[in-house]
Amino acid sequence: MSYDLVIRGGTVIDGTGRPGYRGDVAITDGVITDVGRVDGRGRREIDADGALVTPGFVDIHTHYDGQVTWDSRLQPSSTHGVTTALMGNCGMGFAPVRPTDHAQLIELMEGVEDLPGPVLHEGLPWTWQSFEEYLDAVDGLPHDIDIAAQVTHDPLRLFVMGQRAADREAATPEDIAEMARLAAAGIRAGALGFSTSRTEWHKTSRGEQTPSVRAEINELVGIAKAIGETGTGVFQVVSDLKGFDHEVEVMYEMMRVSGRPLSLSVMQHEPGDGYRRTLHAIEQANAEGLHMTAVVAPRAIGVLVDFKGTYNPFVLSRLFRSGPDLRDPGVKRRILAEIAERGGLRAPLESIFELGDPPNYEPLPEESVAARAAREGKDAAEVLYDIMLNGPAYMPVFNYHGGNLDVVHEMLSHPNALPGLSDGGAHVATICDASFSTTLLTHWGRDRGRDRFDLTWLIQRQCRDTARMVGLTDRGVLGAGYKADVNVIDFDKLNARSPRLVSDLPAGGQRVLQAADGYLHTLVTGVEVYVSGEPTGALPGRLVRGRQTV
């Protein structure tokens, strides 16, 4: 028997949680046809001896809603083993939209997801008004990996209610009926779900809260009921959980009236164990027979501190802003003197660390800029300056209040939690958390000195379980009949590299990219899209329309 491709002699970790075993993977017409000992030959064969062979990763929390309309490569995610990305999270998107509201949606995405306005103004083609037309526009551009969409609450509300939505007024019964109708139509057209934001952290670039933040329970329940009547779709929610009991009841009721699953972004926002109360509420939902999942980050959620990035405390210096040669010792002395005259850096130097290459995402408190400066008898501003000359520094914010990732370990361990929150495509000059998938495997499956996880379980969670959570049961497993999305990985060499800023967005906008070592081959629908981290030029990725089954 012959096949299009056989991946030969690797350690197969198939995504089911089964222990890894030496075997082969045969692929024909974009589908896995045989796994185990494959006696037939492939028209092409990949020697995977000494490497891991895993399913492609499924990232259920990205924001490629803009990038997907102008860019065929969904980097950085696609360079970190991701073969399917779900966009349209946090209620943020670009459809449906009236031509008069383009600027408002750009201000929303600029403020909430840190996508520069000029990039969006130049990059978005706006060849759509309805959500269905948006899906068609995405479908018309080939990509390196598969992309899936969700109906997003903020543009939907603005489309139906106009300025009343932007003013956060309560929806009328007629408004709710129309939003419900359009949301259900979006699901029928191929959206995997519906997302909403209920957090005051999310604000437009003009500092206004999002249209959906105060939506009342009857609005969300009305939308949820209509989506439930389609028999498919999931809900994604981000919330401050202020008025905890009420917020939890809103989500419970959305699931009750629809019978559909719901995921909630969960992190440790501040010191203490408040996140445990949220996890307990999720446990109670599942005990009631509802399907509720915590989506959690595999490391701290923080920001990069970079001379060219969004967060740069040296921008206070007038000399710095003039664009001098920062490596010139005289320039350095003058900038540091100017900063000192201004009272020092306005930055939490006890919480900023050298990131390094490969990056260290779990630094010790004694490795902070402040601690290092005290130990070396130097000015902390000079220590940070020298670090930033060689690459970005790192400031963990959420999930790091104890000075380690123990909280993350606890959340990842929870039976009702899945890894996510990479925000791929967003915060483009501030973070690069699209490398979360690589950190999940390397830090938690190999490098951490304590409390590591079994690698087969990590791959199951990042592949099969994330896919199933959003209704994609045709991928995430290396088995006969499954979609041939595959990674071949040199696990000993697997590492994320130091993030770097590039200027390749529309209007010359900057974004952070992050390469990785160890991904030998990444295949989408049986087609090789990356070899040793480099794109092959193939673009087999497509828009995923609706629930997919084997």
pLDDT given for residue 200 in this prediction: 87
Give the integer Cα–Cα distance in Å for 277 and 265: 13
Is the domain of 523 the same as that of 389? no
Residues 6+ apart with CB under 8 A from 316: 338, 339, 342, 345, 346
Local structure of residue 20 (DSSP, 8 states): P
Q: Let me know if residue 544 belongs to a domain.
A: no
Is the domain of 80 the same as that of 125? yes
Is the domain of 379 the same as that of 413? no
Distances (CA, A) of 109 to 63, 209, 306: 9, 12, 22
CATH at 18: 2.30.40.10
Q: Taking 90 as the threshold, does the pLDDT of residue 206 lie above it? A: no
Is the domain of 124 the same as that of 164? yes
Return the closest-CA partner of residue 80 out of 518, 505, 493.
518
Q: Backbone phi, then psi, for 150, in 5-degree steps?
A: -130, 150
Q: Let me know if residue 543 belongs to a domain.
A: no
Q: Let me know if residue 474 belongs to a domain.
A: no
Q: Taking 90 as the threshold, does the pLDDT of residue 471 lie above it? A: yes
Is the domain of 82 the same as that of 206? yes
Buried b (16+ CB within 10 A) or exposed e, 521-549: bbbbbbbbbbeeeebeeebbbbbbebbbe
Is the domain of 138 the same as that of 234? yes
Last residue of a domain, one of 398, 421, 447: 398
Q: Let me know if residue 414 belongs to a domain.
A: yes
**Average pLDDT over every residue of 152-162:** 98
Q: Backbone phi, then psi, for 353, in 5-degree steps?
A: -135, 155
For residue 320, what pLDDT band results from cuts at 50, 70 and 90? very high
Q: For 511-521, write each residue's pLDDT tens digit.
A: 999 999 999 99
**Average pLDDT over every residue of 202-213:** 91
pTM: 0.97
Q: Taking 90 as the threshold, does the pLDDT of residue 39 lie above it? A: yes
For residue 58, what pLDDT band results from cuts at 50, 70 and 90? very high
Give the integer Cα–Cα distance in Å for 185 and 188: 5
Local structure of residue 462 (DSSP, 8 states): I
Amino acid at 497: R
Q: Let me know if residue 74 belongs to a domain.
A: yes
The total number of structural domains in the chain stands at: 3
Is the domain of 409 the same as that of 379? no
Is the domain of 290 the same as that of 324? no
Question: Residue 361 sits in which domain range?
Answer: 303-398
Q: For 220-236, write each residue's pLDDT tens digit.
A: 999 999 999 999 999 99
pLDDT given for residue 55 in this prediction: 99
Q: Taking 90 as the threshold, does the pLDDT of residue 201 lie above it? A: no
The position carrying tokens 């290396």 is 478
Could you tell me how far CA 378 lies from the centroid of its own chain? 38
Token readout for 89 is 């999270």
Give the integer Cα–Cα distance in Å for 79 and 139: 21
Last residue of a domain, one of 398, 431, 457: 398
Is the domain of 391 the same as that of 419? no
483 forms beta bridges with 31
Is the domain of 276 the same as that of 413? yes
Q: Taking 90 as the threshold, does the pLDDT of residue 1 lie above it? A: no
Number of C-beta neighbours around residue 216 at 10 A = 12
Across all residues in the chain, what is the average pLDDT? 97
Q: Taking 90 as the threshold, does the pLDDT of residue 152 lie above it? A: yes
**Average pLDDT over every residue of 322-344:** 96
Q: Are 483 and 493 in contact (CB under 8 A)?
A: no
Give the integer Cα–Cα distance in Å for 546 and 188: 7
Q: Are 419 and 461 in contact (CB under 8 A)?
A: yes
Q: Let me know if residue 477 belongs to a domain.
A: no
Q: Are 392 and 376 in contact (CB under 8 A)?
A: no
Give the integer Cα–Cα distance in Å for 455 and 440: 9
Q: Are 138 and 149 in contact (CB under 8 A)?
A: yes
pLDDT given for residue 487 in this prediction: 99
Last residue of a domain, one of 426, 443, 469: 469
3-state secondary structure of 334: helix
Q: Taking 90 as the threshold, does the pLDDT of residue 407 lie above it? A: yes
CATH at 409: 3.20.20.140
The answer to which of 74-88, 203-217, 368-382, 522-536 has the lowest mean pLDDT is 203-217
Give the integer Cα–Cα distance in Å for 311 and 431: 10
Give the integer Cα–Cα distance in Å for 278 and 446: 29
DSSP code string of 164-205: HHHTTPPPPHHHHHHHHHHHHHHHHHT--EEEEEE-TT-B-T
Is the domain of 173 the same as that of 206? yes
Is the domain of 214 the same as that of 87? yes
Token readout for 343 is 């009272």
Q: Let me know if residue 334 belongs to a domain.
A: yes
Name the pairing type of β-strands 31-36 and 21-28: antiparallel
pLDDT given for residue 94 in this prediction: 98
pLDDT given for residue 203 in this prediction: 87
Q: Let me know if residue 229 belongs to a domain.
A: yes
Give the integer Cα–Cα distance in Å for 127 and 111: 23
* CA Rg value for the chain: 23
Name the pairing type of β-strands 527-531 and 519-524: antiparallel
Q: Taking 90 as the threshold, does the pLDDT of residue 92 lie above it? A: yes
pLDDT given for residue 452 in this prediction: 97
